[in-house]
Homo-oligomer: A and B are copies of this chain.
Amino acid sequence: MLPFEFYNPTRIVFGEGKIAELDRLVPRNAKVLVLIGGGSVEKNGTLAEVRAALGTRAYSIFRGIEPNPTFETLMEAVAQVRREGIDFLLAVGGGSVLDGTKFVAAAVPWSGDPWEFMVDHGKNVKTALPVGTVLTLPATGSESNSTGVITRKSLKAKLFFASEATYPVFSILDPAKTFTLPERQVANGIVDAFVHVTEQYLTCPAGGHVQDRFSEGLLSTLMELGPRVLAEPDNLEVRANIMWAATLALNGLIGAGVPQDWGAHGIGHEITALHGIDHARSLTLVLPALLEVRFEIKRAKLAQMAERVLGIHEGTEESRARAAIFRMCTFFESMGCPTRLSACGLDAAAIPPLLRQLEAHGMTAMGEDKGQTLEVSRAILEAAL
């Protein structure tokens, strides 16, 4: 096990009807900005519940944070916060709204151009407005981590930042709020959470017994309940378990003390930035190919996953490891997520621009061993065609 520091002060308030708890959780004298996305929370009644819970508190609404939230849009929210003297941000939506709200929280007290802290990934962000969240889409784990991923349209750049100052103060997770999600978003969310786990688990072996077991527990849960939620969309218990699994997939716990490999996210972000492909799908396009190209460093953990998650005990370590990749692809496809670039209309011509983007963003030595160079990323993309 590696040395680590684990700190996660976000208060999770979980259960049906918990939006009413906003009255306890938001300071009574707060001046609140409620940030939302494209308006689904207005149509399905979630925003009305939030309004009711906020009661007589002063609040404004900021609408229009898009999937893959943009710097350009969020700077409008920053201006509104400064103009109106807002002192509490309440994000109501999925990972994009939450990520965007964290950016606003850090940008408001930032004295220079906030893009500065995106470029150095939040290293110098020491203060931020308090953020609360009401999560409507289990996927990114943003409700219980300090990270935000922001796209700057004008630069075609998608970068992340993180800071201890941007952990949400609280996050309300009401699984009943996920009933109205389109099936595609449900499936994408499950796949996104699944890939988050693999990126902290499918590395070189590292002796983290508990971390491995927890990761395997999350993978088992998502592989079992992913198909079930599509078959039984009205099952609250299935929804609840998926929601909690997605949070725990990226709250820092399973990655504490073990190496991590965010190489699939590295390439995936560029695919989304250049081609507008859903985030989750950008990952399923890349991850299986990455595991094939990087097979030697991944084989032991893949074989362990085959045994413990998939119940595959027969065959050599190599054959079990290959079977794990195969079964992962089957799972992704069953969730409607393609595992071949060609299925998204991309061919070999798409590769050089993606590599140029990786180079421009310094993503030239990814993976737990820094071994995913540009040449390796090229091989991964070629294997994914």
Using a CB–CB distance below 8 Å, which chain A residues touch chain B?
1-16, 18, 207-210, 212-214, 216-218, 220-221, 224-225, 237, 240-241, 244-245, 248, 253, 256-257
Contact = CB atoms under 8 A, between A and B. Distances in A.
Contacts of A248: 210
A200 to B, nearest CB: 14
Nearest to A8: B8
A14 B182 CA distance: 42
A217 B221 contact: no
A35 B205 CA distance: 38
A15 to B, nearest CB: 3
Contact of A1 (B6, B9, B207, B244): B244
Given A216-B217, A217-B217, A240-B1, A210 B245 contact: yes
Given A6-B14, A210-B244, 4 more contacts: A1-B240, A5-B14, A7-B11, A14-B256
A66 to B, nearest CB: 30
Contact of A18 (B3, B11, B15, B237): B3
A210 B241 contact: yes
A221 B207 CA distance: 12
CB-CB nearest 6 A-B residue pairs: A3-B15, A213-B217, A9-B9, A7-B11, A6-B12, A209-B241
Contacts of A207: 237, 240-241
Contacts of A15: 2-4
Contacts of A2: 15
A60 B333 CA distance: 63
Nearest to A3: B15
A4 B240 CA distance: 11
A190 B3 CA distance: 21
Contacts of A253: 253
Contacts of A12: 4-7, 256
A365 to B, nearest CB: 24
Contacts of A209: 221, 224-225, 241, 245
Contacts of A218: 210, 213
A271 to B, nearest CB: 30
Q: Which of A9, A244, A248 has the most CB of B within 10 A?
A: A244
Given A225-B209, A241-B207, A6 B16 contact: no
11 contacts: A1-B237, A3-B16, A3-B18, A4-B14, A6-B12, A14-B256, A14-B257, A209-B221, A210-B217, A213-B218, A214-B214
Contact of A11 (B5, B225, B237, B241): B5
Contacts of A16: 3
A224 B2 CA distance: 20
Contacts of A244: 1, 210, 257
A18 B2 CA distance: 12
A11 B1 contact: no
Nearest to A12: B6
Contacts of A217: 210, 212-214, 216-217
A162 to B, nearest CB: 16
Nearest to A16: B3
Contacts of A216: 213, 217
A13 B8 contact: no
Contacts of A6: 11-12, 14
